[in-house]
A and B are shown apart, each in its own frame.
Chain A
Amino acid sequence: MSNINSAFLQKPASRDESFVRVVASNGNLGKRPWFRARTGTALAHFARDKALAFILPALLLVAWEVGSRMGWFSSVLLPSPERTFGTLLDLLRSGDLELSLKITLGRVIAGFLVGSIAGFVVGAAMALFKSVDRYAGPFFHALRQVPIYGWMPFLILWLGVGEVFKVAFIAVGAFYPLVLNTYEGIKAVSPHHLEVASVFEYGKFKLFRKVIFPAALPSIFTGIRFGLGHCWMLVIGAEFLASTSGIGYLMAWSRTLMQSDVVISCIFTVGAIGFLMDCLIRGLEHHLLRWRRFTLSS
């Protein structure tokens, strides 16, 4: 196979050369643009890639600025970049944003903890005990078909529109991904690891703590990241409809007042906080799973 390959690669016909390039670029056809020329150091490549990433945002920002100066769109619907940025700074300085964020984050943390712990327990029980899986599995999967927003009227009727409702609603968002990923993580534990554990005559608790749980942890972390993302989205939704505080309420209220600059500032903040939370979980995962990198590299 390698003979055939090298024979082809040595052939100097121009058509083949273009195909070597296709192969090398994994489907990237056509001529290499000047800014992708394979010259310079790795640092230059890195800088070039980063510069490419800023082209589109810069263009959008310019279009936004020019558009608002030329009056292409109503300043009520889309205020100028300076005004939006100024509003964001004002909101930060006055502490309004901080206060709303604190309330919202408190709800997210409470809902996430309740939902993820319940999800972990259910997922682990379904993966570890076949009978639980057989009895509860189909029901769980049927329940999962209902979109989360579908539970909202139901939960509001049962729990009112207070904090309990919000925490329960957010918890549902963390519950499903945790169940699924815990289940899959445990099911995917290598039989070899279990064999080793049985050789060492591990007890059931030790087996779970020393073998199954660590092996399932990467998958569980995937569930945690998905779950936290869901929670962050659901809290905003819950605050739109049933709240008088929090950043979701701030957005909905400023929408009613037609304060687009506040709405855009809030969208920016919500995105940034969501991103930071994801980074935090990633960092935690990186730290907790450092033993994994170790074994892979050595």
Chain B
Amino acid sequence: MMKSLSLPLRFGQPAVHYGRGFLLPLILLAAWWIVARFHLVSALLLPKPEAVVATFVTLFQNNLLWSSLECSLELVVYGFLLGAGGGLLFGTLMGMSRTLEKMGMPLFNVIRQVPLVAWIPLLILWCGIGQPAKIIFIAVGASYPVVLNTLAGIRGVPKDYLEVAHVFQYSRLKLWKRVLLPAALPSIFTGIRLSLSKSWTMVIGAEAFMANVSTGIGNLMVEGGEQFRMDVVIVCIIVIGVIGLAMNQALRLFERHFLRWKSGFNVENA
């Protein structure tokens, strides 16, 4: 309990140490402001910080930002669920049977050698540039880390655990439910977290490479670039970064809550 209370100020460091992290961004912000204020760089290339804030407010007020985010998040949710679900299934199947692993893994590894982006021309030929193509693209990228981490998690279950299950004469189902899956869960969660952050990266790529009438945040940003609206581009970059960070943190919290038995287990046996 005490430990969690003193967590924000690790090792009794004064809060000023945490303020240090803000110094570099502040210096950069000041430099940006000075450069923009005295027109050292064309305003087209570097708008004033105030202009960026104003653009943010405008985009927020005319609902453009929110509707683009909604569009992109929808793609991420579908692609992530499809990819992570498929990856979990595939990884678990290969974890259940070494024969399946020997059959599936080499092909999976060969396919994985092709950079995801390289599939885009073929994907466009086959599925067009609509939402389904983007969802497939995101799903493929989202499935890789889940497959790898699920398989690694299951294969990494210590033999001792299986021996204990053997002593308790667990049935197959119980063995999976009580031993294999819980032991593999931390690794699976890592895969899911990587998968979600990858989905978010890929939705931006998908919208940039498969640009159509749909208006995601990636489209907003690319269009901003094409129209030489640097303020829009910067707003989009910041929003995209913040959303990515928020998703990662949310999943971390969820993971910590879901796997709280793990820390308890460690503390008792430490």
Contact = CB atoms under 8 A, between A and B. Distances in A.
B216 to A, nearest CB: 12
A8 B45 CA distance: 74
Interface of B: 17, 20-25, 28, 44-45, 95-99, 102-107, 110-111, 113-122, 124-126, 154-155, 157, 159, 162-163, 165-167, 169, 172, 175-176, 180, 200-202, 204-205, 208-209, 218, 221-222, 224-226, 228, 230, 233-234, 236-237, 240-242, 244-245, 248
Q: Is the interface of A mostly helix, strand, loop or mixed?
A: helix
Given A22-B175, A23-B163, A254 B121 contact: yes
Interface stretch (A177-185, A200-208, A210-218, A256-264): A256-264
A147 B240 contact: yes
Contacts of A22: 162, 165-166, 172, 175
A88 to B, nearest CB: 14
Given A36-B99, A138-B21, A274-B113, A77 B209 contact: no
Contact of A145 (B122, B163, B222, B244): B244
Given A36-B99, A237-B209, A263-B125, A26 B107 contact: no
B204 A150 contact: yes
A23 B170 CA distance: 12
A5 interface: yes
A190 B175 CA distance: 38
A178 to B, nearest CB: 18
Given A56-B107, A151-B237, A158-B45, A27 B121 contact: no
A146 B244 contact: yes
A157 B234 CA distance: 11
A28 B99 CA distance: 9
A136 interface: yes
A149 B72 CA distance: 14
Nearest to B119: A267
A145 B249 CA distance: 11
Contact of A4 (B154, B162, B167, B205): B167
B98 A25 contact: yes
Contact of A26 (B162, B201, B230, B242): B162
Contacts of A260: 122, 125
A278 B109 CA distance: 12
Given A149-B205, A153-B222, A263-B122, A233 B115 contact: yes
Interface stretch (A47-55, A90-98, A288-296): A47-55
The residue in A26, A35, A147, A251 that gathers the most chain B C-beta atoms within 10 A of its C-beta is A147
A15 B167 CA distance: 11
A236 interface: yes
A26 B117 contact: no
Nearest to A272: B113
A145 B241 contact: yes
A77 B205 CA distance: 23
A20 interface: yes
A153 B225 contact: yes
B153 to A, nearest CB: 11
A197 B40 CA distance: 50
A150 B118 CA distance: 18
